[in-house]
Structure 1
């Protein structure tokens, strides 16, 4: 496959929608948990302030009780509360320090409880809302973005946000309080010596600024490579049967190893930047502490050095050194927060990009609901094209578009069975997907009962349409859950009736647990024909006014096709049905057969009429009944050219 499209970050272009994705997510989702945030923040602030008390008590005790250089006085404590004896003052110091640590422990528990409650719930809301946005996006989005990329955002990137909210944001508050509190106390104790300790702050800020500028794009590359690796793994796990069948384990190992190597290289590039940054912070903070000890120690031993004029006792120096370490150490930790923030910001950009991805199939603000649908469907001069890579499948004029439908018009009366036939790539499936608004037409109008489908709600439109595909998707769960997927509240009797009408009861009743039998992921425990009949039962139970059968019998054997056709007779009765078919026998009795070729309806009529025209339909019929020798040479040559074009395009995509 072309690496330019597959290996690029699909969210790179989306990142420009917001300057600070982390702040946008925090603002939008944090407001719902303001109480937990406030409680956690308050507990953190008070705990950090209380942590400053022991050092202050120790300094006072050293000067008053051990060296005799000062009186025993405590800020904010009336002198009448202080014992008059040294023994009393000593035990008071011990009691205050012990009570402080107990209070800090309690506050830390409160902070941890409230903060984790805040972070976990914000993470949950972001993940579920992002998923809800994803499942409501139009089909074209999923044509462009791989499942692994989406899973990487919903899982890895959202988890990265949770880690930042739980740990780093809490640490940021803690560090901010410590820096402000310690800085204020240092200035209060001896503002001249405090200036010495604060010399390291500008150097730390400069180092952090340089680090952010360098590491931000590297973390964006890391998040992108994680998504690409997940896409490769998801794709290979889903296709493991094909890998085994074609003995391609070695080839796929190399491809996974390559994707993993790309992630390793990107991550190692970021890591090498990070491991250079943290030792730099350690050197700066260590130098600040050493300088404080050097100047302060000289000050106590020999008096105020140089321009300094204030007095400094041993107790104050000890307090100062303890505070200096608590001041400079958080500043170094601030560098770690900056690092984690940049990593989380790269993840937040991908999450926010996915959450704000606009749908190309919007629902009008004044959309109305379809009520009592009769099922009259009109296509009025409808055209549609896919965007393609330059030169791949384009129309040849370099515009990067592949025209799929060109000015298609048709009318289906209520209850009609419309057969859609034609070569591969003629536009049959696209035609019915436009009716479901999985895509929107570029030009023209599609109406149901006279109402433009762009003027009705998506939910009411899709509720009125049943869909049975050639590869029915069954969810992990029981047969009952899959049949009742569209109407989970129905009674078991209704589910059983739908199963019987779909001709599925013959095998369901033989299963170990009947309708409560688990079908496995994607229904792997059932055969293709069994999955198809469960899908038909699901459509019968939903009782739609319109029905789409997308080659519903193309992947089953002849005996199974007979069973499914019998099931379909029940399903298509009295409802407007569009049946896409390569096996023309399935639409032989259709009220109208539309033959598509290169995005246009080239023939229309019933089976006998189309055979009499001796055109494309007649040639396709000859292929099906084995009359290959009767085919005109022009048809054979065109079929070969079309097949070659399809193979070339597939080869280009997988190159």
Structure 2
């Protein structure tokens, strides 16, 4: 099947998985620390709410023994007998009051628990998402060269959202289970330790079943997280390229690709579900065994005490067991066993969250490939002198090989000069400029600004000094005003309009329905290519950088508009160092120096007239521009036909 919009690597983020197996513990320790108050309030409310749940079953047992079976005198633990009512009606009203109060208090504590715990989970998730995004955007450009947008979004949305479900429900429930089981177990052992041992012996069996489940389900949930990321990538790429899909009538083929990705997700999910649904009946049988054992032993004991059976067996020689106490035990046992089954769901949710957390922690812990050096200093008062000193660079291919793009490139640019960069497609022009901005680092040699190696200055100060207009201008969803003002937050309307005029954009902007407040749509889809280009140029103009890079900045405009833009840019480039990458050589014919690259090497340099007189590659490219195709060397035509683009160079 040929590659389509949604084809990507099988395990784009496999290298980001945390390997220590405690990603959730790591995240909880780091991000839960700032939410200790909410966590503490929610935890205490859960504990006391659990205590309120213990009262009804106990009070029911007291009522049965005291009022229904009349087996024993009315008494309440830890309450002096002298303060209890003597009359049955008073005793009954007291029990009813305590019972009603426990329900009201439990409901109030449940609200406090939900309020605090949801606040904890939401703030936790917010902090993780922001840090994950910050870590993502600080990664080097090559990180995004090898990954699809949908897979990146899968971490920031799906994986982070998976944490919310676990923190909001499962972790809260887990804390309640611990105290519920612990509280009920303590009460049962205190009331009758022999009978209390029966449900307790089921716990090791439940623990072993849970251990086996964890061992089997964890790798399957990792596969689910990978599969959903690939599905997101497929959908995101297909929707992003919907115009291409429709123009080539490949809807059916793309539906098949989506079906293939969805099937992979279905298979991974079903594999996990098959393991999970086998786990639940196992827990149900074990808890039912504990409940049945309590009923059988307790029922036999009560029948012995009531004289319905023969002499008691040795185990039943202790204090007698009443009918009311047996009811309390059965209710407690059911509440004791059911949380243990819930604990299986918590383990399941934890493993799902752990699989998501591993990718998040892997992202957070993986340092960016391009960072500030320890002794990096700000690049202040930039004059604009740029030097390339024997610079070589290659991209890492998918099979781990190095594909050389630039070889021993050296040149100097004085402050205020305009330099044209020309050459065949794939010669390395765009890559050369990305090294200046440290989107990538040179493999060999050095790039310097004002005599300082760009690797020894802070990234922020370096990129603040450089304005970049891409050959494929990107506009954010929002208004024209917001897109121009993006380069300088806080810019006034007058400054934005002045930048638009300098870029030749003002005239078409004021003709839009809402002028500068017109929404440009996703990626600027409501504007033409030329309009997007001019808005992008206006954005760079507003930034007012000391060094300006125009990467095919007029590639999407007609000749008339190009002339307007070139005239407008004269004042802009007059007092700053400017690099203009161009296939349309007319845009750089008046440059102070023109650099000609071919196959990653600097082969010619000089003015337009000098290079034409030399009759080399530049002269050949010029003949292409002016239509003298018959005069082109056959070697040039053969090489152009066999061109293979380099990664990261776009149309370069």
TM range (shorter): over 0.9
Matched with 2:162 is: 160
CA distance in structure 2 between the aligned counterparts of 1:456 and 1:446, rounded to whole angstroms: 11
Paired with 1:477 and 1:437, the residues of 2 have a C-alpha distance of: 28
Per-residue displacement from partner, 1:54-80 (whole Å, max 9, x unpaired)? 111221222222222222221222222
Equivalent in 338, 342, 351 of residue 342 of structure 1:
351
> Number of aligned pairs?
639
> 1:452: which partner in 2?
453
Which residue does the alignment assign to 1:315?
Answer: 324
Maintained 8 Å contact 1:469/1:550: yes
- Separation in 2 of the partners of 1:184 and 1:466? 70
**In structure 2, the residue corresponding to 1:503 is in which secondary structure?**
coil
Task: In structure 2, list runs of 5 or more residues that go unmatched.
Answer: 306-311
Does the aligned pair in 1 maintain the 2:140–2:369 contact within 8 Å? yes
How far has the Cα of 1:306 moved from its partner? 5.2
1:6, distance to aligned residue in structure 2 (A) = 2.6
Alignment of 1:270-281 (within 5 A): 270-281=272-283
Q: Out of 51, 54, 57, which is 1:55 matched to? A: 57
Q: Which runs of 5+ in 1 are unaligned?
A: 391-398, 651-655
Which residue of the partner structure matches residue 620 of structure 2?
619
Partner of 1:395: none
Counterpart in the other structure of 1:487:
488
Verify the 8 A CA contact 2:386 2:448 in the aligned structure 1.
yes
Equivalent positions of 1:199-598 (< 5 A) are: 199-303=201-305, 304-305=312-313, 307-310=315-318, 311-390=320-399, 400-598=401-599
- Aligned residues of 1:550 and 1:581 also touching (Cα < 8 A): yes
State the partner residue of 2:74: 72
Q: CA RMSD in A?
A: 1.8
Q: Once the two structures are superposed, what CA deviation does each residue of 1:113-144 show, in whole Å capped at 9, x if it has no partner?
A: 00001000111111111111111211011111
The equivalent of 2:173 in structure 1 is 171
Q: Among 187, 190, 195, which residue is 1:188 paired with?
A: 190
Query: How much does 1:5 deviate?
Result: 9.2
Cα distance, 1:503 vs structure 2:
1.4
Shift of 1:37: 0.3
Q: How far, CA to CA, are the matches of 2:294 and 2:20 in structure 1? A: 44
Give the deviation of 1:302 after TM superposition.
2.4
Q: Measure, in 2, the Cα distance between the counterparts of 1:233 and 1:306.
A: 69
Contact 1:228-1:259 within 8 A present in 2 as well: yes
Give the superposition deviation at 1:637: 2.3
Deviation per CA, 1:218-263: give whole Å up to 9, x if none: 1000010000000011101110011111111111111111111111
The 1-side partners of 2:524 and 2:571 are apart by: 24
> Cα offset for 1:7?
4.0
Question: After the TM superposition, which of the residue ranges 42-51 and 559-568 deviates more from structure 2?
Answer: 559-568
User: SS in structure 1 opposite 2:425?
Assistant: coil
Shift of 1:156: 0.9
After TM superposition, the score normalised by the length of structure 1 is 0.95
Q: Deviations over 1:359-407 (max 9, x none)?
A: 11111233211111110001111111111123xxxxxxxx611011111
CA distance in 1, matches of 2:533, 2:635: 37
Equivalent in the alignment of 2:308:
none
1:458-491: CA deviations, max 9, x gaps? 1111111111111111111111111111112121
Q: Higher mean Cα deviation, 270-279 or 624-633?
A: 624-633
Distance apart, 1:2 and its partner CA: 7.7
1:396 equivalent in structure 2:
none
Taking the aligned partners of 1:552 and 1:401, their CA distance within structure 2 comes to: 30
C-alpha distance in 2 between matches for 1:343 and 1:267? 11
